[in-house]
Amino acid sequence: MTTTIKVAIVTGGGSGIGLAIAEKFVQNKIRTVIVGRDQQKLDSAKNKLGELCDTFSCDLNNLNEIPNLVKDIIEKYGQVDILVNNAGIGYFGAIEESEEAEVRNEADNLTYTAEKLTQQDLKDKIKPEQVEKVNNSVKELREALSSNNIEEIKKKTESLKNVIGEISTEAYRAAGAAASQQATSSQNSESANQPTDSANQPTDSANQPTDSANQPTDSANQPNTQS
């Protein structure tokens, strides 16, 4: 099924910035699908946003779930026009202004996330050179943590964030494209199995005799009056 209005996905749409974005979409008559882990938050957001809002519960930390999520949404609405990849974790404030303990904690969480992506979630979905890029960035951050140089830790943390963001975005796009292609193939397969009306309907001309074949000509049935 394809809808006549635009369809948007907002990850982390149950609260905060994601909810505010979803609210603007709904106000502009855009069908908005909010995604998150906390179903209670999602239900509360839907009650606030109304009929044009729908919810899908999904842990986006597990990238293996993303293709099924996109597939389910496309099967229900026929399309995805807008994606706002808002979900995430972090501290409020620039990393340059964060306390040392917070910086170290974020760096530790980031290295864990990076290793989980390459060894589990994205293991079969990214290229070897991308894995190497992540591993090198993780190694540099670990060296910075060992050096106790807080400015270097901040710098390498930002670098690893950028690498993870780049690779994750590519994985999201690939998963969405694959799900969309699968949905399109299913629709094409269904239409190919439906006979067309013209194949089952005989043409009128094949079954109707022509007038000229059944009507004698005047010259054949009229006697010659001239002699």
Residue 115: pLDDT over 60: yes
Evaluate if residue 219 carries a pLDDT over 50: no
Give pLDDT, residue 195: 60
- Residue 51, pLDDT > 60, answer yes
Neighbours of 77 (CB within 10 A): 19
* Nearest in space to 154 (alpha carbons), one of 94, 92, 112: 94
Query: CATH: 3.40.50, 1.20.1270, 3.30.70, 1.25.40. Which one for 93-192?
Result: 1.20.1270
Q: Is there a common fold for 1-88 and 93-192?
A: no
Average pLDDT over residues 82-100: 68
- 219: helix, coil or strand? helix
Which of these ranges, 36-45, 105-114, 168-177, has the smallest mean pLDDT? 168-177
Ranges 130-134, 185-189, 211-215: which has the least confidence: 211-215
Q: Exposed, middle or buried, 222 (CB in 10 Å: 0-12/13-18/19+)?
A: exposed
Output the pLDDT for position 227: 39
Joined tokens for residue 120: 């589990």
Q: Which of 103-112, 113-122, 215-224 is modeled with the greatest confidence?
A: 103-112
Q: Which CATH class is domain 1-88?
A: alpha beta
Give the domain ranges of the chain: 1-88, 93-192
Alpha carbons 118 and 124: distance in angstroms, whole number: 9
Query: Quick check: 98 pLDDT over 50?
Result: yes
Residue 140's pLDDT is what? Answer: 94
Helices (H) and strands (E) in the chain, counts: 10, 4
Helix (H) or strand (E) holding 104: helix 100-116
Element (H, E) at 9: strand 7-11
The 10s digit of each residue's pLDDT in 26-43 is: 999 999 999 998 999 999
Percentage of the residues of the chain whose pLDDT score is greater than 70: 66
Burial class (CB in 10 A: 0-12, 13-18, 19+), 187: middle
The predicted pLDDT at position 141 comes to: 92
